[in-house]
Amino acid sequence: MREDVNLQWRIAARPEGNVRPSDFELAERPIPVPGSGEMLVKTRYLGLAPVMRMYMQGLNPSGETPLDIGDVIHGRGVGEVVESKHPDYQTGDIVQGQLGWQTWKVTAATPKERFFKCRDYGLPFSLGAGVLGMTGVSAYWGLMDCGRPKSGDLAVVSGAAGGVGSIVVQMLKIHGCRVIGIAGGPEKCRFIRELGCEMAIDYKNENACARVGELCLDGMDLYFDNVGGDLLAACLDNLALGARIVLCGSISEYLREDRFALSNYLNLRRVNGSMSGFFVYNYQDRFGDAFDGLAAWIKAGKLKPIQDVVEGFENMPDALARLYDGRNVGVQCCSVRGEPETRDA
């Protein structure tokens, strides 16, 4: 990778279906120079999430400024401060924030960019692009605040082999729950069993909606939803008394032109159930608590960080496509430059 320019991935076309190479433009720009109150950040890792395709479509589900053709694609990552004129950051700080799909960034660390210093847990800083980043916060507070797991619960997790799902499965086991995971293909089903799922549903080779009913004869206590659509409807038909549904993602609907309409949501009334959505940035003042908890479990050997790392900034478009065609396992991220030289790991 060239170090004398700022490489950027920009939007070349609005995606139709899964993203394609022609939807992206690789641009070269001069490395920016920080002014007063700014810092220059060298990108080390970038995280990827299905929402990035929505950014490319000009949508703003996370409250970001809508993107036009030619704009740098939104994305959070981990970087190293190499020059600082900002009062709160020093050269050498490792930071996490809205870097965008580029290899360098000048920033004033505005509130919208949500920059903060990465805590040093003695773990690879690559985890800040996933398990100790927004993916981990989504899993942690989505489950703890909305799902409220209890020992003995029967929990169902869709997208169980994905970034959030693979963390949630392990957190449920830590809390003494029985877990049914839903994933695509025999290999992913083997993987989620290794993570702790007592039962696995292969949505590519089974009727997942029917299997939910067969495996939850007495109803499920908790459903962590990463996909939406028909699976969400099937789980609403199989709830135990006091069941909780957590709305985290709806990837099955991101490629649909029409919105899926739930016709059975009133089942929640019959079981005194609840269905809660959440937005990760609403927990910004509690990010540190999530990182502390997740890091402690990792260091204790109770949680295995699963990150699907693509090497090389040039492979960012394919890394995003992996999320939609089911090739990724765990959190999808890209190693742009790897660990800081002082912290090879």
The reported pLDDT for the residue numbered 259 is: 78
Q: Indicate the pTM of the whole model.
A: 0.94
Distance CA 64, CA 34 (A): 23
The reported pLDDT for the residue numbered 343 is: 56
pLDDT tens-digit readout, 83-98: 999 999 999 999 999 9
**DSSP conformation class of 129:** G
What domains appear along the chain, each with residue ranges and CATH number?
6-132+305-343 (3.90.180.10), 134-281 (3.40.50.720)
Residues (pLDDT < 70) of the chain are: 255, 342-345
Q: Which two structure tokens, joined as six digits, stand for 193?
A: 């069993």
Distance CA 115, CA 103 (A): 16
The reported pLDDT for the residue numbered 47 is: 97
The reported pLDDT for the residue numbered 247 is: 97
- pLDDT above 70 as % of the chain: 98
| Amino acid letter, residue 253 | E
The reported pLDDT for the residue numbered 345 is: 46
Task: For residue 14, give every residue at least 6 positions away whose Cβ sits within 8 Å of its Cβ, in sequence order, or none.
Answer: 23, 56, 57, 58, 69
